Structure 1
């Protein structure tokens, strides 16, 4: 059991290291003068991954629900994304970048939902805390963002993000291959999929709030670097602030299950959402740098609680036979549709106003999402 747990932890390190080495710096990379792209074009490019996630992630979920072969699909997705990401190094025109982003995104968006499906099955059978494994992903992301902040300031430049991401995905696929097949095969249901089993009213309420809460959180990963550099900071500072945020995710992921058992899933979700809204509002006020450091800690608290609690909460809202599909739908609408919308909207706001307007927008919509979750909690109590 301990060896399997270490393998799962290693996979999370690899997958999130690959994301941390690339996604926070993607906006900065495509904003370089050599590409000659407008902020709106950059916003569209970074929105492609979450846009495609809307339709593709549920398909990955249904595929695994029908075949039960999560491990094989995850290996295919990781290797494909790694190889395709290297082609960005030779793409300079807007059209080719968009085409490559579409192809790459089909495989990239499968990594987190598939590894979460494998892990949740393993933790359920083995009575292991999911947060104790997922926190290794946060550690990998933190190390990657910090390292890339320093590397990108060197002669290697921002192009090195794609190389490092590809290397870690290839390494991670090796770890996935080492996980015994029986640990990743799920019960296969050949009966027709019942969408009513997925789209119940509690799940819909959760998704409505989740899109408004998670959308700004994921979009922040693309635009926080621009916020810092526009304020006079360096990419090294960007990486260091991300490092602080993600390092503080780890202890909160560790205690997420205990807080969920003590206060209830919805209360933890609402509390984290309120903190997220306050954090965005303070950033929009252009605070001094020492406050920005404190807000990085607050971001770690928010993400450290929201991700494990929300994922486990989704599984309680639907039947087990459609849990993979529900997870795919949840990720498609939060990390997909919502993130895409906020990425593109952020680019438009920057053109019309500035980066501070982006964080005012994040503040408002996150607060609305928290109110929807409060309403969901009250409906549940009345029911």
Structure 2
């Protein structure tokens, strides 16, 4: 009976991850190509693609706070799904910059809150059932890889179906999440030492090292955000279509599977911080390879998704799950999402749009790779100095 219940929990949580990433896979990878088809410039595309991360910064914390305070993450997720599903078809009514911007802000205000809330709920339910989150997260990778391949081909033939499919996927995701159990905090948790009584971002966490976790996450995520923002536009400039975007996105997603199979072992062997630092340099290398514009080399670059994105994502969500107070788990994951899907993507889109307009897309990729490398080196030096200053000194040395 216990094994049957555990298997049922694994299946439900696995498909929760599948369905979120199906929604993301239908929507996000093809947006820049959609904007380009409307005749919008690279700078305008950058601004539009920055709308979602701006919402992640400005509005997402509201949803996480509501979910934590009410202890109703599942209900908030379902409400956000249904609101986004209603708003997605408004894209069909917008064809110039300002209307598209307004629709994107409206949709993103709800859609941007889904990932951190879903992650915090699924991670907690997995922990209660003794399940390995890396196996559950593999569902998202598989779902994303399959859907971007299928949708890339479909959009080449019928681009007008994109936002209808987005709405349908969100409704299915909402229905599945409603079937999951709730995971609110305990009613008697107010006096628990595992509950935060402070204010401010750092008060959500049990270690100040989180500041460096978020810095390294920002650097790698900005590099990957640049690729996500301008890969579709680059494909169009190279004379390719949505199919290439779908293939490259599927390759990157499929590369995550081997890492997810060993991610728990990697964290135990090297630690989250070492994996994050390594991932920053891999993200810079990925920018160089994708920026060549040579399809086989671009494929090799996308294979680095495994060690530039997934290592960051898994290290951060597990670090945060283990270093947040019980009543702050949704807000803890939201803080990571604000950096990964918010601030870093705003920087990538705005500066990336300017760089691509000023230098050309090829040179823009190389310039962003150089900036990412410099930032990673600076952050590494700062982290090493912080570790040395924070390390307890030997008694004799301290007395001296």
Q: Offset at 1:337?
A: 1.5
Q: Offset at 1:334?
A: 2.3
Q: Offset at 1:239?
A: 0.8
Change (3 A) 1:174 1:239: same
Task: State yes or no: 1:5 paired with 2:10.
Answer: yes
Aligned to 2:185: 186
Q: Could you tell which deviates more after superposition, 195-204 or 77-86?
A: 195-204
> d(CA) in 2 for partners of 1:106 and 1:31?
23
RMSD of Structure 2 on Structure 1 (CA): 2.1
8 Å CA contact 1:211, 1:369 repeated in 2: no
Aligned to 2:396: none
Q: Could you tell which deviates more after superposition, 249-258 or 91-100?
A: 91-100
Q: Could you tell which deviates more after superposition, 169-178 or 290-299?
A: 290-299
Q: Offset at 1:320?
A: 3.3
8 Å CA contact 1:37, 1:94 repeated in 2: yes
Aligned to 1:176: 177
- Counterpart secondary structure, 2:95: coil
> d(CA) in 2 for partners of 1:127 and 1:362?
41
Higher relative contact order (CA 8 A, sep 6+): 1
- The TM-score, its normalising length taken from structure 2, stands at 0.88
Per-residue deviation, residues 176-216 of structure 1 (Å, max 9, x unmatched): 111123xx323466786522513764222222222121122
Aligned to 1:306: 312
- The TM-score, its normalising length taken from structure 1, stands at 0.91
The one of 235, 244, 247 aligned to 1:237: 244
Q: Offset at 1:130?
A: 0.9
Q: Offset at 1:229?
A: 2.9
Question: Number of residues paired by the alignment?
Answer: 376
Q: Offset at 1:71?
A: 0.2
> Where does the alignment leave 5 or more consecutive residues of structure 2 unmatched?
1-5, 191-195, 392-400
> d(CA) in 2 for partners of 1:242 and 1:4?
29
Change (3 A) 1:377 1:186: farther
| Superposition map of 1:363-382 within 5 A | 363-371=369-377, 372-373=379-380, 375-376=382-383, 379-380=386-387
Aligned to 2:26: 21
Change (3 A) 1:335 1:369: farther
Change (3 A) 1:186 1:254: farther
| Superposition map of 1:248-287 within 5 A | 248-284=255-291, 286=292
- Counterpart secondary structure, 1:24: coil
Per-residue deviation, residues 84-132 of structure 1 (Å, max 9, x unmatched): 0011112223222222111111100111001101011112212211111
> d(CA) in 2 for partners of 1:377 and 1:123?
34
Aligned to 2:3: none
Change (3 A) 1:365 1:187: farther
